[in-house]
Chain A
Amino acid sequence: MRRGSRLAASGLALGVLLVSATASGYCRTTTCDPRRQACPRDAQGCMTGGIPLAWPEACVGFSVQRDGSVKLGIDAGTLRGIVTDAFATWQAAACAPTIAWSPLEDASCAEVQYNSQAPNANLWLFRDEVWPYDDGGKTLALTTVTYNLKTGAIYDADVELNAAQNLLVARDPRGPREVDLRSIVTHEAGHVLGLAHSGEPDAVMNERYRSGTTSLRELTADDVSGVCAIYPADRPLGVCRPVPRHGFSPSCATEAPLEEGGCCSVAPGRRRGSEALALAALLGGALLAATRRRARRA
């Protein structure tokens, strides 16, 4: 059977699979990490353990990487405009979410990072040459959100856009190979704001997108409910100062030592201390072996 007809034949199955995975409704990202603790979920599939994430500030700054995507012919100004529009879309929700985004100076560096003592940037960047993750280059965009796990306060958010293997377009897509950058950016902006995926089929934060379409550009009532739950009018706010945590650095300043201490968790029923030590030893052994091999090759 050809792929096209196969797709048509399976439309029903897919529709049920992807629409009903969660009954309906937005979910918030929380501090619960299933690698560390049990993270219960409600009937909609939303994580109920942990503290929901939110930016504590009323105003947040973001930067785009100054090279844009040479490969796709999308310059920094175009990306900056698309990201600005995407945040404006979220901000235009009926409840007037109490968070405003403004573009800061374009960044000269292209690093996803968070400094716990030095200045930072909430960066949007294209990866033109190499996509450095084990996903077969299939990821279109990857959002990394750094937060305080005791308060749920978001510290930093960086978004990588995979131009190395994907045809992202800044205009309306003209065929099924083209991916609408504005749709992807609007969806990722929802993650930056603290939203996880929604079971609502038409929502921007739903877990499906068909390339060649602009289906994720406009918020649905469910997206609006989500962003309004995170940033209601009555939340306590300070002055509007859109500076990243510890100040702004457009050059990916880095200061903190690489090691900030590790922490271990062990599956229920296992003895914590000894196993944690064993893992540390295993990890140490693995890295040592790799280092030795590299040294031998050099």
Chain B
Amino acid sequence: MSDFIQAKNLKFSYINEIEEPPVRTEVLKDINLEIHKGEFVAVLGHNGSGKSTLAKCFNAINIPESGTVTVNGLDTKDEDNLLEIRKTAGMVFQNPDNQIVATIVEEDVAFALENMGVEPNEIRKRVDEALKTVGMYEYREHAPHKLSGGQKQRVAIAGVIAMQPECILLDEPTAMLDPKGRAEVMKTIKQLNREHGVTIVLITHYMEEAAQADRIVVIDSGDIVMDNVPKKVFSQVSTLKNLGLDVPQVTQLAYGLKKAGYDISTEIITEDECVEALERILADA
């Protein structure tokens, strides 16, 4: 099956039962989305557009109000599929402090496997592997609260990849990190995708991070408004600005130069491409 995660006419609302009568907030209106195996998808959208809500639909935390979501062929509505789906699609959250359960790094990485009832020896093996993959093996006996933000977030990622999921959903994993931590986490994510073939769904506010994905999905008030490769998405600078989003700095530069009458492509998303284009302009002049 090539469509690894499939959302069909997905509708989702939060219902606040405390109020009388219950208040309902419709968040996702009619989402149709397919994510293929091994893909690296970035999800963009301004605050409150429904990105997190969508991601939580992909691992059966949120159950669709109507429509269906299937993960690896398993329907998220079916209660019996719950653990299998969570094993298949792991999730990493924004604040590393609030997702680490144990007081020792390796114990935390083992948490999911212990819940799954894996044999002790097998847990040990997989924990060590996961820690090595994220480059935190030397810290396996440390207390998590003594690590830096980027390190904590990598431990959280290790805790998820120890489950050997086929897909990882990351909800703004770099939002609380400094530039160094951000780079560490992005490197780990890309490595998981390229070397281990893990499907990645990355929600982010950093356009430079989104530019590294295979595909970008832009969400606005619960609807998918763009779904294309990064070059095509970022070339629509004014549309993005109207949605309250930025473009990578280099794209912004190229866009400005183009407007000023220079002959430059608007499909520039990496620094290297930008340097090359600028060199060409300078050589022509």
Partners in one complex: no
